[in-house]
């Protein structure tokens, strides 16, 4: 059994992560979908993002968690508290039109966690 943590703040990130996880998860696995609302963000985005995971991931157990605060700190705490095996995240706040490069949260997770962090590419908007 593998425990994945899907860190998301947008439906675009969740969809890309679900595409990545689709062939990797089994019915014995668990996916913790965490959406963290930081200052200035619309909390409805978190709900929409977690709903995408509930509908797209049917084989594993899906648990949703919403938090407020620093995304990096909250994700690090959840990894430690839930014995997570792998973190899946988007390169930046789910905005496909953002300039290339990693956002601060993912960059921080890559250097601070001792579990694999998979950064899924976001598809361009049509």
The CATH number that applies at residue 36 is: 3.40.50.620
The number of distinct structural domains making up the chain is 1
In this structure, is residue 102 part of a structural domain?
Answer: yes
Does residue 126 sit within a domain?
A: no
pLDDT tens column, 21-41? 988 999 999 999 998 876 666
Q: What is the model's pLDDT at position 68?
A: 84
Evaluate whether residue 63 is within a structural domain. yes
Q: Tens place of pLDDT for every residue, the chain, 126 residues? A: 999 999 988 888 889 999 999 889 999 999 999 988 766 666 666 678 888 888 888 888 899 898 888 889 999 999 999 999 999 998 876 555 666 667 888 999 999 999 999 999 876 655
pTM: 0.86
Rounded to a whole number of angstroms, the CA Rg of the chain reads 13
Residue 86's CB is within 10 A of a number of other CB atoms, namely 18
């Amino acid at each position: 059994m593998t425990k994945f943590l899907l860190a998301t703040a947008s439906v675009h990130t969740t969809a890309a992560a679900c595409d990545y996880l689709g062939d990797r998860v089994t019915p014995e696995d668990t996916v913790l979908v965490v959406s963290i609302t930081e200052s200035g963000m619309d909390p409805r985005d978190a709900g929409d993002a977690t709903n995408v995971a509930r509908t797209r991931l049917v084989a594993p157990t899906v648990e949703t968690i919403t938090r407020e605060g620093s995304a990096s700190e909250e994700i690090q705490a959840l990894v430690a508290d839930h014995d997570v095996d792998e973190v899946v995240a988007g390169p930046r706040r789910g905005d496909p039109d953002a300039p290339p490069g990693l956002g601060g949260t993912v960059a921080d997770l890559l250097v601070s966690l001792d579990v694999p962090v998979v950064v899924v590419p976001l598809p361009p908007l049509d």
